[in-house]
Amino acid sequence: MKQQFQYPIRTLIITDRLFEPANQLADYFTATGNIYVMGMASGKEEAIEIAKKEDFDYLIIAGYLKNETNYRVIEELRKRHKRFLAVQWAIVDSLINIFCSRYKIHLKFERTLPMEQFVDFLRAHRNDPLLH
């Protein structure tokens, strides 16, 4: 039996190239019973549209974004006073480190690790001061 938590974690997933892994991640989150996927976006504009209707705790970037302008969604959403943590879910390499530094993404998670560990990672960071 799955353990239920009092407060669900709300996520928005953005990817412009790793659609199948992003869908698998969303399905896994849904199966946990306490991580909600508020939306899946294929680019900055779509993510902004979802954010107009939904609040979320994490913006999860699945893989690196092929269209680098999509990373600007982080700044755009913060300008709109959205409170969330951006998380890079990718194969952590030098390119990801550059993107994370450039777009002020403080949280990275190695995509090759088990999704169960990613869920634990999100739970561990849910009280991060950037969210509150």
User: How many domains, in total, are found in the chain?
Assistant: 1
In a domain, 132, yes or no: no
In a domain, 1, yes or no: no
In a domain, 24, yes or no: yes
In a domain, 18, yes or no: yes
* Residue 3: both structure tokens together: 């353990």
What does the buried/exposed string (b/e) look like for 36-72 if buried means 16 or more CB atoms within 10 Å of the residue's CB?
Answer: bbbbbbbbbebbbebbeeeebbbbbbbbbbeeeebbe
Instruction: Provide the residue range defining the domain that includes 109.
Output: 9-127
Whether the pLDDT of residue 132 is over 70: the answer is no
Per-residue pLDDT at 115: 92
Per-residue pLDDT at 4: 47
Give the residue from 53, 70, 72, 58 showing the smallest Cα distance to 124. Answer: 58
pLDDT in tens, 35-91: 999 999 999 999 999 999 999 999 999 998 988 889 999 999 999 888 899 999 999
* CATH number of 83's domain: 3.40.50.2300
pLDDT in tens, 95-104: 999 999 999 9
